[in-house]
Chain A
Amino acid sequence: MQELIVTPEAQGEPMPGAAFEPAIVAFVCNWCTYTAADLAGTSRMVQSPNVRLVRMMCTGMVDPKYIIKALLGGADAVLISGCHPGDCHYINGNYKARRRVKLLMEILPRFGIDSRRIKLTWVGASEGNEFAATVNSFAAEIKELGPIDTRRLPLL
């Protein structure tokens, strides 16, 4: 029986007293930010465990429907992180990402999805500490913001 759900506890009641742990999907570009993430990982800058990195070739590839899919699929927040403007391996991928996130920032907050749940940031290749700080502070901010209300919705 093929089964995507991998945590038996998923159905059962959550551990008593366990605090809310936000689930964050991060779309990171394969060049600068992924290097910073590796750097943060190998030099042990403690990162919150509930950020899942989805490696894209460039932030210019992040389609608005991925961000909507993540938020509707139960992600409490979405982080899009790419190279600084001018560093992009594909010349101008990050400029496109900025416009698409601007469009989503005009649409989704009107439906009660807090604008702080979508974050666009630039992280350079050697900014391991910057990446760790961004991820940690983002996770803390979302943790305090609370779970997104789409998770309970039967309507996907």
Chain B
Amino acid sequence: MGSIARIEVKDANPVAALQGFCARLLADGEISAVLAPRRLPGNGGTMPALVADPAELRDVDPLAPSFRLNAARMLTRLTRGTDEGGLVAALLRPCEVRAFIELCKLNQGSLENTLLVSMDCPGAFTNVDSARFSGNRGDLDALLGFLRADGRGAFDGVEVARACRTCEHATGAEADLTIGLFGQDVENGLLLMANTPRGEGFITRLGLPEASDDGSRGSALEALLAERRATQEKLFAETTAATSDMTKLSTFLSACVNCYNCRAACPVCYCKECVFLTDVFEHRPWQYLSWARQRGALKMPTDTVFFHLTRLAHMSTACVGCGQCSNACPNDVPVMELFKTIAASTQKAFEYEAGRDPGEAPPLSVFREREFPELTGGLD
């Protein structure tokens, strides 16, 4: 672990402290803008905003438990190709960082043009719940209460989104800098840890006071991860049971209306246009009629299970489990549960973890002469 610094929190307002931190980043000549969650006027919750003028930082609230969309794709558009516009600092949740790393492996963005700042992610409420949580609308006490829960935050019985409750990548260690929240007295100070050489450079440049991790963060994190892994196992078991054969799978996906929202929200589905929207799947009338005659009846629109299975084949090895697919689904199809379960097994099969290491090539872009002999019965 790189060097650790401390962000001072004055009058028990960590949000203001982080706004100050962003201002110091902007003050540094190299960073031209900060991409950070900014509170929306009115209905509460935050949306990513590209802030160039430090004055506009006042509404930035990275700690608010609102996660309307995965900002990874935004960041790829800011960092594509050669370094034109100078460095962009991005305050992202761990799943957003890992999604961005996966996209960089596919030449969609580049790690050189950005400073990734992540944090101990306490989780976030679903879009519906986050609108009702006062903490998202500037109620500092509610927010502090949420943060003190170290990732188990809830308000009047409503817990954080299921994706967050089953997420075991809560620390954002893949980013350049990580803001330490778990086990900290958030009213007085936050930790800032550097994970990469670039992070080290910024810490020294920012001149924040030295700090040391007294292990409280580690133990809090350990406890949280143990809990989350348990809920994750439960989720996997539940989903596997719910989709153990094709009939169950079709009922599992029966509410799907092929609106492909889950694909639009998914950060690692990088295609400009999904193949299911291209002319490949514009079937002729006689095709529909012959399928219908063959089966007796045909649910319309077709290619629903086909779409989900193909999407699983395309991106299950890159899924970071951010939960935005379920978030975006208008008909509450438990897409996140299905994709997180399958992603776990495919990534284990290829000993690959999405977003873990920018240098690790995605499984289907690398081929070796001798592997998986069991597939062909040992035939060489």
Contact = CB atoms under 8 A, between A and B. Distances in A.
- Do A and B touch each other in the complex, judged by CB within 8 A? yes
A19 interface: no
A60 to B, nearest CB: 9
Interface in A104-153: 104-108, 110-113, 120-122, 148-153
Given A98-B372, A102-B349, A155 B250 contact: yes
A149 B364 contact: no
B313 A101 contact: no
Contacts of A92: 367, 369
B219 interface: no
A83 to B, nearest CB: 12
Interface in A1-34: 2-5, 10-11
A69 interface: yes
A49 B323 CA distance: 47
A4 B292 CA distance: 11
B329 to A, nearest CB: 17
Nearest to A68: B309
Given A2-B286, A96-B367, A99-B364, A112 B346 contact: no
A84 interface: yes
Contacts of B247: 149, 153
Interface in A61-118: 64-65, 68-69, 72, 74, 84-86, 92, 95-96, 98-108, 110-113
B364 A100 contact: yes
A101 B295 contact: no
A56 B152 CA distance: 53
Nearest to A7: B294
Given A112-B245, A122-B379, A156 B240 contact: no
A101 to B, nearest CB: 6
Contact of A150 (B246, B303, B350): B246
B331 interface: no
A74 B379 contact: no
6 contacts: A5-B294, A11-B293, A72-B306, A103-B364, A149-B245, A153-B247
Given A85-B370, A95-B371, A105-B375, 15 more contacts: A5-B290, A64-B313, A65-B306, A68-B309, A72-B309, A96-B367, A98-B371, A98-B372, A102-B375, A111-B309, A122-B379, A153-B246, A153-B305, A154-B297, A156-B306
